[in-house]
Amino acid sequence: MTLPQTPAGIALFDMDGTLLAWDCQLLFRHHVLRAEPWRVFSVPLFLVFLPFAKLLGTENMKRVFHCFLWKMPPGRLAELSREFAVKLQPSIYPELKAALDGHKSSGHLTILSSASPECYAAEVGHLLGFDLSLGTVLENNLLFPDLTNHKGENKAHRLRELLPASYFIGGKLVNSRGYTDSTADLPMLAICENATVVNPKPKLEALANRNGWCILRPARPWRSPFEKALRVLALLLALGGNPAKL
């Protein structure tokens, strides 16, 4: 897309846990396995590596997790990504959809910046009307695909690379607001003038209170932490027809 010379404002949104309650990586794998059940081999393979997660690190574990996309043709991946993005729409928090619509109506540049794979993050962003959608790029369809995790400092670094220098004054984006649920996005918030945190955990809530950030607490789609744990476990193990009740 052609970026405006001087946008009236800039809004950066995380996706997982921010626009909706769930980790979309689990949801997308479940979606793919329902469409192509033979890919269930990826579940025990991921579990074999799980005890070594700290040793392998987040980026390598992400590569292992995405083994379910092994040898998937690009056209098929695009088709499944579009289907998934449509399926996800009813799960978007109304409060965050309203905030996004407010930025769009004010003429702000809206950017979706997610750690989830860009193949479906871009489709979600398109349906929600984002101007720009960024995510983790899966560089090939190897068993453990090459990637650079679009998380933490990598989000801020990519924004600095993509956005014109004129958008920044004193290292911050002009008239900008960042939305997140996670301390992992503190580097992204550091280049924003203002921030809104969504259902924050205690550490992020304390930072929000200290910095005068807005706090949103949209209703989550589970009644208790135990129910959430059961549904996440079902998603992790690819059990059931629709553990997230999308």
Percent of the chain surpassing pLDDT 90: 92
Q: What is the pLDDT of residues 97-121, one digit of tens each?
A: 999 999 999 999 999 999 999 999 9
Neighbours of 207 (CB within 10 A): 16
Count of residues in the chain = 246
User: What pLDDT does residue 165 have?
Assistant: 92
Q: What is the pLDDT of residues 43-91, one digit of tens each?
A: 999 999 999 999 999 999 999 999 999 999 999 999 999 999 999 999 9
Lowest mean pLDDT among 5-9, 161-165, 215-219, 239-243: 239-243
Q: Which domains does the chain have, with CATH numbers?
A: 10-236 (3.40.50.1000)
E strand spans, the chain:
10-13, 109-117, 132-136, 168-169, 172-173, 176-180, 194-198, 214-216
Full-model pTM: 0.95
User: Is residue 134 a contact partner of residue 113, using CB atoms and an 8 Å limit?
Assistant: yes
